[in-house]
Amino acid sequence: MSTFEPVWGPVIAGYLFLAGLGAGAFLFAFILELKFPQAVKMRRFAHILTPVAVALGLVLLLADAPGALHNPLRILLLFSNLQSVMTWGVYFLIIFFAVSAFVMIIELKKDYILPRSLNIIGVIAAFCVALYTGVLLGVCKTFPLWNNALLPILFLVSALSAGAAALLLYAALFAPAELKGITGLRKLQYLLPVIELVLLASLLFITFYNSSAGAASVLMLVTGSWSPWFWVGLVFCGLLLHLIVETKPLFFSAGGAASHGALARYTDVGLNALALCGGFLLRLLIVMAAMPLAIAV
Amino acid sequence: MARYGMLIDTKVCIGCYSCLLSCKRQNGLASDQDFIRFEDRERGSYPNTLRESIPLQCMQCEDAPCVSVCPSGASYFGPDGLVSIDHGKCIGCRYCMSACPYQVRTFDEEKGIADKCRFCAIQTLSGGKGCSCVEACLTNARIVGDLDDPTSELSRAIAQKNALPIAGDLTQAKIFYVR
Ligand code: SF4
Ligand code: SF4
């Protein structure tokens, strides 16, 4: 057991992360459009980021499939087995990429008018893509850490988190003026790591009691070789830090996120960059720490 | 149509790895690629303990996760329901390797594709000679045959020795173990 080598590695984790990031950015662009129409630059950035992230994700998927790299024609076969979750995922990603690329073109034109129907299709595709990244792993009975229904939801919430972080990072760097009117959005963003922590804790508890392989996976994360990354990288920098820093300005200061000074801006840059890293780290840890069921018991 | 399966008697298996080595030779595998892997362990509690060697290889699942997850259709049910890999279709995504609960698929680094036991041992049933695991086994721990033929040596041995798939009905495996 201890000699088990993970089947996948950082490249697939990157693919899962970028697909989620694209989905999250698109969903937040939708929220911006509905509730914060004045944040034009952020929305524009989200609409440009989405197809780029999705395309990069697909490139990573292929980069990790040497059989297809050596024989590019085999890429066409990716569409063939409708029983395969990976096949659905490729369909979702292609549809999502097409829609979001179209939206990007509209965004880049002078007069921006995005048909509501197109936006809705994009939103549905974004949900499918984000959930798919969890289902892809979830159907593998081999690994108790993956083989459960919490994982797709955790990945969905983490995708939203990554999307929000990317937008706020951009705004803090390049459009600080837009940060003023979006306290509501920040409160929404604040909720995400809370939900993620609850889901992550549930996932780990349930997996721990699932089987010896489940317990081994959880221990690898919380006390084993991945534990520094898990506690410092994911739990502290990726999730908790956001709550520690943002609770007071968002909920307990008179003006509600009142300070817009240089310090607040740097805090935003740091926090959101860390949240993005945390999103990638979540995928990486889940991919790397999964231990296989013991077959001959 | 035959429904091929195998019996592996771990009570007589001495863990000598002859099957593993003969398989490597038969299939011309690279040094880091094995179609058979062993789980060696101790069972029971003192003083009634025994050391068990369990050779694992593709179980020829009837409900094969590798086939359902393979996006390209490279993993498929071939003639006689044998799970095979079409090397010309495999994109090397390794989804099958994650989905196979028995962890018996390997990766051919050179070609960039997945591979596994090809169940070549059935050649012995038609009088063919090779160096398959069944032929190489020193203690005759392995029997290959047709599960649908109740008179086959395999079917009789399974009934007599009460052999079972290694992980219950997890995937409707067609390799039966005596433990
Ligand atoms: S044992 Fe693994 S490789 Fe063989 S058929 Fe079953 S799932 Fe596929
Ligand atoms: S590695 Fe090859 S055989 Fe395995 S799932 Fe991918 S395409 Fe199918």
In this predicted model, what pLDDT tens digit does every residue of A191-219 receive, in sequence order? 999 999 999 999 999 999 999 999 999 99
- 3 state DSSP class of B28: coil
Q: Is A21 domain-assigned? A: yes
Q: Chain B residue closest to A293 (CA)? A: B101
User: Domain tally for chain A?
Assistant: 1
Distance in angstroms (rounded) separating the CA atoms of residues A46 and A55: 14
The residue among A3, A7, A211 with the most chain B CBs within 10 A of its CB, best to mutate, is: A7
Question: Is A83 at the interface with chain B, CB within 8 A?
Answer: yes
Tell me which of A88 and A180 has the higher pLDDT.
Answer: A88
- Residue A110 is predicted with a pLDDT of 81
Asked, for residue A297, whether it belongs to a domain, the answer is: no
Res. A223: pLDDT tops 80:
yes
Which of A74, A83, A295 has the CB atom closest to B167's CB atom?
A295
Q: Does the residue A278 lie in any domain?
A: yes
Contact B113 A296 (CB under 8 A): no
Q: Which atom of ligand 1 is nearest to the CA of B75?
A: 8
pLDDT value for A2: 44
CATH number (domain holding residue A224): 1.20.1630.10
Residue A88 CB neighbours (<10 A): 17
Q: How far is CA A260 from its chain centroid?
A: 27
**B4-178 CATH, one of 3.40.50.300, 3.30.70.20, 3.30.1330.30, 3.90.1150.10:** 3.30.70.20
Instruction: Classify residue A15: in a domain, yes or no.
Output: yes
Provide the pLDDT for residue A254: 67
Confidence of residue A112 (pLDDT cuts 50, 70, 90): confident
pLDDT in the model for residue B124: 87
In a domain, A69, yes or no: yes
Our CA angle for B62, B63, B69, nearest 5°, is 125
Secondary structure (3-state) at A295: coil
What is the C-alpha separation between B42 and B50, in angstroms, rounded? 6
Which chain A residues contact residue B164 at CB under 8 A?
none
The closest of A274, A287, A237, A4 to A133, measured between CA atoms, is A287
Residues A83-106 have pLDDT tens digits of 999 999 999 999 999 999 999 999
Q: Tell me how close the Cα of B153 comes to any Cα of chain A, in angstroms.
A: 25
Q: Report d(CA A226, CA A207) in Å as an integer.
A: 17
Tell me whether A2 touches chain B (CB under 8 Å). no
**Over residues B129-155, mean pLDDT:** 94
CB contact under 8 A, B103 and A70: no
Q: Do A84 and B65 touch (CB under 8 A)?
A: no
pLDDT for A1 beyond 50: no
Tens of pLDDT, residues A22-70? 999 999 999 999 999 999 999 999 999 999 999 999 999 999 999 999 9
Residue A188 phi, psi dihedral angles, 5° rounding: -65, -45
Q: Is residue A2 part of a domain?
A: no
Mean pLDDT of A176-201: 95
Minimum Cα–Cα distance from A6: chain B residue: B98
% of chain B at pLDDT higher than 70: 100
**Residue A3 lies inside a defined structural domain of this protein:** no
Instruction: Determine the distance in angstroms separating the CA of A90 from the nearest CA of chain B, rounded to an integer.
Output: 9
ipTM above 0.85, yes or no: yes
Q: Which residue does chain A place closest to B169, by CA atoms?
A: A295
Contacts of A47 (CB under 8 A, 6+ apart): A26, A29, A100, A103, A104, A107
Name the minimum distance, in Å, from the CA of A217 to any CA of chain B. Answer: 15
Per the structure, the complete domain to which residue A172 belongs is given by: 10-289
- Note whether A45 contacts B: Cβ–Cβ < 8 A: no
User: What per-residue confidence (pLDDT) applies to A262?
Assistant: 83
Q: Do the Cβ atoms of A68 and B41 come within 8 Å?
A: no
Q: Rounded to an integer, what is the distance from CA B133 to the centroid of its chain?
A: 10
Residue B65 touches partner A, C-beta closer than 8 Å: yes
Is the pLDDT at A261 greater than 90? The verdict is no
Cα of B177 vs centre of ligand 2, distance in Å, is 27
Mean pLDDT of A244-264: 77
State in Å: Cα B12 to ligand 1 middle.
25
Taking the C-alpha atoms of residue A169 and residue A175, their distance in angstroms, rounded to an integer, is: 9
Ligand 1 and B171: CB distance under 6 A = yes
Mean pLDDT of B30-37: 94
